[in-house]
């Protein structure tokens, strides 16, 4: 089974401040836009870095054409800034029970771990490394905000990367695990199962469209054990 984990709110919590500052610094460096002064109604939870950047820039009056032309530069500047701004030790942000859950999954030969996150890849991987979780995902496939601004496109891309040439990883054997309605929506866009956790900003009611909702890693582990036992 391919398990595609979100990062913020699912694996770690409270690790977004340096990330936000890095993205804002990149927008100032590349576009001269002071993001903190721009009024944007876009709620960032569950969105890709590129989508968040675009919303801020459009609100600041930057043209879509210019945003497209400089998207790579923003990604690179954000990734550089995050290296400098992120705390060296983010282990305190790991959600309780996640490390033991990942260790258990890595011991199994019927599980492949992957990532589906709105983080730019360099940011997401460094965040996991500094949280002490990078080893569980060192060789993991995935899809990131640097691959597409559209989060709905990411699970399909992750399955293609996890599969063989011309044969994406099967939908029936893939599960998205996240903490926002957008995690659920991106799973449904690729016709995938989705499990949600309330360790992020959303409660059970907001996540009710998932196949199952749990309040902690223990409940998630029990569900995965049952699912894996039935193939």
Question: How far from each other are the two terminal CA atoms of the chain, in whole angstroms?
Answer: 8
Strands of the sheet with 2-5, listed across from one edge: 141-143, 112-116, 2-5, 174-178, 193-197, 212-214
- Per-residue pLDDT tens digits for 199-221: 999 999 999 999 999 999 999 99
pLDDT at 40: 73
Which residue, 22, 54, 1, 12, is CA-closest to 173? 1
- Per-residue pLDDT tens digits for 65-108: 999 999 999 999 999 999 999 999 999 999 999 999 999 999 99
Q: How far, in Å, CA of 116 to CA of 205, rounded? A: 23
Residue 185 has pLDDT above 80, yes or no: yes
For 141, other C-beta atoms within 10 Å of its C-beta total 20
Q: Which is it for the CA torsion 86, 97, 194, 135, positive or negative?
A: positive
Q: Which residues of 207-228 are buried (b: 16+ CB within 10 A; e: fewer)?
A: beebebbbeebebbbebbeebe
13 vs 2, 141, 193, CA distance in Å?
23, 22, 23
Where in the chain does DSSP place strands (E)? 2-5, 112-116, 141-143, 174-178, 193-197, 212-214
pTM of the predicted structure, to 2 decimals: 0.94
Residue for token digits 């610094």?
25
45, 180 contact by CB (below 8 A): yes
Using the 8-state DSSP alphabet, how is residue 94 labeled?
Answer: B
Domains delineated in the chain: 2-14+90-229 (3.40.50.1000), 17-85 (1.10.150)
Which residues make beta-bridge pairs with 116?
Answer: 143
Nearest 10 degrees: Cα torsion 210, 133, 52, 26: 180
Which residue, 46, 192, 188, is CA-closest to 119? 46
Residue 19 has pLDDT above 80, yes or no: yes
89, 22 contact by CB (below 8 A): no
pLDDT at 18: 95
């Amino acid at each position: 089974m391919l398990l595609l984990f979100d990062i913020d709110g699912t694996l770690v919590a409270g690790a977004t401040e340096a990330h936000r500052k890095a993205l804002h610094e990149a927008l100032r460096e590349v576009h001269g836009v002071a993001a903190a002064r721009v009024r944007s109604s876009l709620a960032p939870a569950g969105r890709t870095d590129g989508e968040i950047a675009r919303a801020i820039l459009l609100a600041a009056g930057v043209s879509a054409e210019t945003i497209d032309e400089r998207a790579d530069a923003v990604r690179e500047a954000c990734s550089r800034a995050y290296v400098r701004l992120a705390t060296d030790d983010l282990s305190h942000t790991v959600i309780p029970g996640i490390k033991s859950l990942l260790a258990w999954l890595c011991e199994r030969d019927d599980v492949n771990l992957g990532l589906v996150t709105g983080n730019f890849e360099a940011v997401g991987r460094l965040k996991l490394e500094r949280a002490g979780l990078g080893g569980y995902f060192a060789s993991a496939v995935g899809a990131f905000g640097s691959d597409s601004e559209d989060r709905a496109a990411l699970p399909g891309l992750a399955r293609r990367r996890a599969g063989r040439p011309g044969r994406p990883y099967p939908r029936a054997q893939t599960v998205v695990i996240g903490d926002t309605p957008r995690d659920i929506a991106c799973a449904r866009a690729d016709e995938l199962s989705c499990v949600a956790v309330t360790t992020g900003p959303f409660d059970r009611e907001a996540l009710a469209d998932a196949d199952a909702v749990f309040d902690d890693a223990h409940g998630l582990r029990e569900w995965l054990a049952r699912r894996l036992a039935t193939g």
